Structure formats: C-alpha cells, structure tokens
Amino acid sequence: MWFILLLLPISLLASELTLCYKAYFSFIPVARTCITYAQETDQLKVSSWVRTISVGGLVKRVYNHGYATVQIEGLKPLEFFYHQEEGGFKRRQHYLFKNSKIQVKETHYIELTDEVERVEERVYSYEGYPDPYTASLILYKNSSQNGSIKMFYDDKKYQIPYFVVGEEDMGSYHARVVEVKPNIKTKGLLKPRGNWRLWLDKEHLFPVKMQLLFVIGSVRAVLEEVRGDKELLRRVLSR
C-alpha cells in the first residue's frame, strides 16, 4: 500500500506547524498573523504573513509576507525573502547566504503599485549574523538564560540582548517570559522601539503571547490557533 503515499500532497509528508495570532491595540483587534514551520529532511522552511484588520482609520494598511530557509544543523541561514506593504511604502528584500557571502537584492516600488522605482544589489561578508527568521529560532532555542542574538537586516548587523524576567502559567501553557531589546533601525511603519516581551511556552518553544512596541504604538499579539505538529520546534531546536 506504499503507493498511496504518492497520492498525498507533499506538504502532508513533511512535518509542519502553523501558529496564528491576533494582534490588539488596547482591546481592539487590529491585525492577524500566521507563522508556518515546515521541516523537509535537513532544512526548515519558515514563512509568515501579517495583515491589518479593517478598523476604519485607526490603523494604516499593512500586508507583509516572507520566508526563510534554514539548515537545521547549527541553525544556519540559506535564504531570506520579505515583502513589505506598510502605509504607502512597498519593497522586497531577498538574501542568499552562500560561499561565506550575503547576496542582497532590494526592490523598491512607487507607492503601492507594481511599478519598480529602483533595484539595488549588494554583497556582504557573512560573519555569523543570520536573517530575522533564523535569529528568532536561535532566541527560542537559547531562551532559558540571558544572552544576545546576532541578526543581519537592512544592510546592518545587530546584537540584540534579551533577558529572562520570569515565568507565567497561562492555562494550557507554562511560559517563560523573555524581555528583548530590539535595537533595530529599519524602514516602513513597523519600526521597533522600547522593550518587547515574549511569553515562550517552555515545552514547545513557541510564543503564546507577545507585547510589541513600535513607533506607531503598542501591540499585544495572542496565540489563537495551532495547527499541525506541535512538537516540531522543540524537536528541531533540541538538536
């Protein structure tokens, strides 16, 4: 009966986990975001999207989506892509981590149209600073103690410190509370500021709540849906 497997979609044969969150400004829902982790042999594909919920003129339109491919052994970045539409700002970034180099292609658009304003290509030496998706995985893996993570984004290298500030029982989850200082300078509406707090489930190593501060205001994101292999991150990150 092995041939029945040939009839199944490839996504069902890979180990996959999807986490969906609803984001609130005060008590008003303003956005929804989902993150999917898919393991295929020795690689992990991380993809996400975030979209604002229509609430009149309270928030500007945001639609961002992206992905990264990560080598599981050593959590090494292979590829990163991110598409931003924030207010009237639209761009795409694509990084290839290859031969100890980071090949960057950045495409800017005229407002929210598909008309390209300019394309910029640059090459940097890879010095152990991964993309944002890979950096998040490293944080989850090492979140049991204070530390810092390296990250490359927007042509800059960052050392982002984080601190374990407590634990909290959240019903189905028992979370470790981690405070992150995202000292990142970037473009668009979602520019981080202040300190962020993450509630990371100790057993499964994924966020169940996030308190995020941007220049446009504070947002609380709460996990509302879990689909697929709940053990995936713990299994991958325990290597």
Whole-structure pTM value: 0.88
* pLDDT tens, N- to C-terminus, the chain (239 residues): 333 333 444 344 459 999 999 988 877 888 899 999 999 999 999 999 999 886 544 567 889 999 999 999 999 999 999 999 988 899 999 999 999 999 999 999 999 999 999 999 999 999 999 999 999 999 999 999 999 999 999 999 999 999 999 999 998 999 999 999 887 776 655 556 668 899 999 999 999 999 877 655 678 899 999 999 999 999 999 88
d(CA 187, CA 111): 14
d(CA 14, CA 50): 24
Q: Which residues sit opposite 159 in a β-bridge? A: 150
Question: Which long-range contacts (C-beta less than 8 Å, at least 24 apart) are formed by 135-143?
Answer: 135/160, 137/44, 137/46, 137/70, 137/75, 137/233, 137/237, 138/75, 139/178, 139/180, 140/200, 140/205, 140/206, 140/233, 140/237, 141/75, 141/205, 141/237, 143/176, 143/178, 143/198, 143/200, 143/205
Q: Set out the domains of the chain in order of their start, with CATH numbers.
A: 12-237 (2.50.20)
d(CA 121, CA 183): 25
